[in-house]
């Protein structure tokens, strides 16, 4: 299972970087979204996949009984989702303002406005 997820993570990173290198700002936003999803999946995979075992300490025990799902990657992914949503929201608003000012989403035509 981890091998399949590693391939999916690689594909998400590769397509995200490819889309970010395109000239359109819309493709840049899509690439940023793919890259953040790849990072979330990477954190999930590194935390190991454990099914149907909640991270609760049973009665009478002092520690968790293995195997159990690690709650730290889940908390990190939740935080990463919130941060990526905020960044994507900011990028969309920035794109909208740049499109209003310049009238195009082509990055090469936006470079002409530097002077």
Taking the C-alpha atoms of residue 28 and residue 108, their distance in angstroms, rounded to an integer, is 13
Across the chain, mean pLDDT equals 85
CA–CA distance, 29 with 75 (Å, rounded to integer): 25
Evaluate if residue 115 carries a pLDDT over 60: no
Residue 107 is assigned to a structural domain of this protein: yes
In a domain, 63, yes or no: no
pLDDT tens, position by position, 7-57: 999 999 999 999 999 888 889 899 999 999 999 999 888 877 766 666 677
How many domains would you assign to the chain?
A: 1
**pLDDT number for residue 88:** 92
Q: What is the pLDDT of residue 46?
A: 86
Whole-model pTM over 0.95: no
pLDDT at 112: 65
- Report the helix count and the strand count for the chain, using DSSP H and E: 4, 0
Q: Please report the pLDDT score of residue 107 as a whole number.
A: 78
Predicted pLDDT at 54: 67
The answer to whether residue 85 is domain-embedded is yes
Q: Which domain holds residue 9?
A: 2-53+69-111
Q: Quick one: pLDDT at residue 9? A: 95
Residue 26 lies in a domain: yes
60 found inside a domain: no
Question: What are the Cα distances from residue 9, in Å, to 28, 29, 44?
Answer: 18, 18, 11
Instruction: Tell me if 61 is assigned to some domain.
Output: no
Which spans in 22-70 are helix H? 25-46
Is 59 domain-assigned? no
User: Which pLDDT score, from 0 to 100, does residue 108 have?
Assistant: 78
Could you tell me if residue 62 is inside a domain? no
CATH number at residue 84: 1.10.287.3510
């Amino acid at each position: 299972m981890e091998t399949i997820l590693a391939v999916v993570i690689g594909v998400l990173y590769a397509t995200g970087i490819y889309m970010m290198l395109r000239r359109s700002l819309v493709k840049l936003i899509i690439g940023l979204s793919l890259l953040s999803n790849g990072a979330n999946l990477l954190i999930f995979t590194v935390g190991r996949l454990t099914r149907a075992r909640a991270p609760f300490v049973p009665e009478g025990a002092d520690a968790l009984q293995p195997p159990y799902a690690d709650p730290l990657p889940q908390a990190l992914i939740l935080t990463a989702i919130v941060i990526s949503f905020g960044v994507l929201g900011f990028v969309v608003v920035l794109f909208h303002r740049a499109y209003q000012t310049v009238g195009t989403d082509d990055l090469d035509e936006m470079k002409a406005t530097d002077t």
